[in-house]
Homo-oligomer: A and B are copies of this chain.
Amino acid sequence: MQLKIEGDKDSRGFEDSETAYDYRHEGVLQCVASRLGWLVFFFCGLMLAAVVVEAFEEVLKKEVELSYFVPLLIGHGGNTGSQAVATMIRALALGQVGMQDLFMVVAKEGAAGVIMGTLLGLCILAFSFVWSGITPAVGLTVAVALPVVSLWANVLGAALPILSARLGYNPAVTSAPLMTTIVDSTGLIIYFYIAKWILQL
Contact = CB atoms under 8 A, between A and B. Distances in A.
Interface of A: 19, 22-24, 28-29, 31-32, 35-36, 38-40, 42-43, 45-47, 49-51, 53-54, 57, 60-61, 64-65, 67-72, 74-76, 79-80, 83, 87, 90-91, 94, 96-97, 101, 105, 108-109, 111-112, 115-116, 119-120, 123, 127, 133-134, 180, 184, 188
A39 B32 CA distance: 32
B75 A49 contact: yes
Contacts of A79: 38-39, 42-43
Secondary structure type dominating chain A contacts: helix
A54 B201 CA distance: 20
B70 A39 contact: no
Given A49-B71, A71-B71, 13 more contacts: A23-B97, A24-B91, A28-B108, A36-B116, A38-B79, A39-B76, A39-B120, A40-B120, A45-B75, A46-B75, A53-B68, A54-B65, A60-B67
